[in-house]
């Protein structure tokens, strides 16, 4: 990775607020942002649209190999059923390997000539960018995450079935943490930020202070906007 690319890796479980934090940090630092979950979601969505079972390994691998980055803005990627399919294909080593090169290229040479990149996912600090300059593991209690996700869904006008969001998060947590390949785990050198009792602003301030502490004197450290 060229020394000019300053990489911030953000990992954590579903609905921990990684996406919001990553976007905000990237904007503040003038860095590019990649939500790596979208890659797995794109594979899951391709299978749903083709009428295939998300467990179909050959079809999942073909979808991962044929991934078109232009499709990453599709609003259907955000659907709950797409997230479920994504967590199934994400457990397949061949699919993960096929998506690895894309993520590493993004980190090493961020689009738009940005001086750095913020990548969020489950294995950015452990597998995709183990040499990232800054690694954050964002966590929060599952009940708190479920409450936040329910609020978000209500705001989007979706109907909530009592207990369903919590059950879904528990299922996804179990699949992400227990899979054999690249399981969700904090890197040994990650800054673990538990936001159970924090709001988004507090989480952002804590994360930014950590990133700045990692960049002082570093190669072309992040030029933070004011
Ligand atoms: O963050 P998300 O909900 O959009 O992720 C969708 C699924 O993809 C989730 O079950 C975990 C998986 N994923 C992964 O295994 N590795 C990543 N780097 C990002 C997401």
The predicted model scores a pTM of: 0.89
- Which atom of ligand 1 lies closest to the CA of 41? 6
| Distance in angstroms (rounded) separating the CA atoms of residues 65 and 148 | 34
Is residue 87 in contact with ligand 1, taking CB distance under 6 Å? yes
Residue 221: predicted pLDDT: 46
Burial class (CB in 10 A: 0-12, 13-18, 19+), 197: exposed
The reply to whether ligand 1 has any atom less than 6 angstroms from the CB of 17 is no
Query: Which homologous superfamily does the CATH classification assign to the domain defined by 6-214?
Result: P-loop containing nucleotide triphosphate hydrolases (3.40.50.300)
Pairing of strands 191-194, 134-139: parallel
pLDDT at site 42: 97
pLDDT given for residue 160 in this prediction: 85
- The residue written with tokens 């899979």 in the block is 179
pLDDT in tens for each of the 226 residues of the chain? Answer: 445 799 999 999 988 999 999 999 999 999 999 999 999 999 999 999 999 999 999 999 999 999 998 999 999 998 889 988 998 999 999 999 999 999 999 999 999 999 999 999 999 999 999 999 999 999 999 999 999 999 988 998 888 888 999 999 999 899 889 988 888 999 999 999 999 999 999 999 999 999 999 986 443 444 433 3
pLDDT at residue 104, as a whole number: 96
Question: Which pLDDT value is given to residue 1?
Answer: 45
> Which one of 18, 19, 33, 36 would you pick to mutate in the ligand 1 pocket, going by the greatest count of ligand atoms within 8 A of its CB?
36
175-196: buried (b, 16+ CB within 10 Å) or exposed (e) per residue?
Answer: bbeebeebebebbeebbebbbe
State which H helix or E strand residue 102 sits in: helix 93-108
Name the residue at shortest CA distance from atom 13 of ligand 1. 37
Work out which ligand 1 atom sits closest to the CA atom of 90.
15
Phi, psi angle pair for 74, to nearest 5°: -65, 120
Q: Give the pLDDT confidence score for residue 166 in this predicted structure.
A: 95
Q: How far is it, in rounded angstroms, from Cα 166 to Cα 169?
A: 5
Q: Whose CA is nearest to atom 18 of ligand 1?
A: 121
CB 63 within 8 A of CB 47: yes
CA atoms of 131 and 52, how far apart (whole Å): 37
Q: Is 176 in the pocket of ligand 1 (CB under 6 A)?
A: yes
């Amino acid at each position: 990775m060229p020394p000019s690319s300053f990489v911030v890796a953000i990992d954590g479980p579903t609905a921990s607020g990684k996406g919001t934090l990553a976007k905000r940090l990237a904007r503040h630092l003038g860095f590019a942002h990649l939500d790596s979950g979208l890659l797995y979601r794109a594979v899951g969505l391709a299978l749903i649209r083709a009428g295939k079972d998300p467990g179909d390994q050959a079809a999942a691998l073909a979808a991962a190999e044929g991934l078109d980055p232009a499709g990453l803005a599709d609003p259907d990627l955000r659907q709950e059923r797409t997230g479920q399919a994504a967590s199934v294909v994400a457990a397949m080593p061949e699919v993960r390997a096929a998506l690895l090169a894309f993520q590493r290229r993004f980190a090493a040479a961020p689009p738009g000539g940005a001086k750095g990149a913020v990548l969020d996912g489950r294995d950015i600090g452990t597998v995709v960018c183990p040499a990232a300059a800054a690694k954050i593991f964002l966590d929060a209690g599952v009940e708190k995450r479920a409450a936040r996700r329910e609020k978000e869904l209500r705001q989007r006008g979706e109907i909530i079935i009592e207990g369903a969001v919590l059950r879904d998060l528990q299922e996804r947590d179990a699949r992400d943490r227990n899979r054999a390949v690249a399981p969700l785990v904090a890197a040994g050198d990650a800054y673990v930020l538990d936001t159970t009792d924090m709001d988004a602003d507090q989480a952002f301030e804590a994360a930014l202070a950590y990133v700045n502490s990692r960049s002082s004197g570093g190669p072309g450290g992040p030029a933070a906007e004011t």
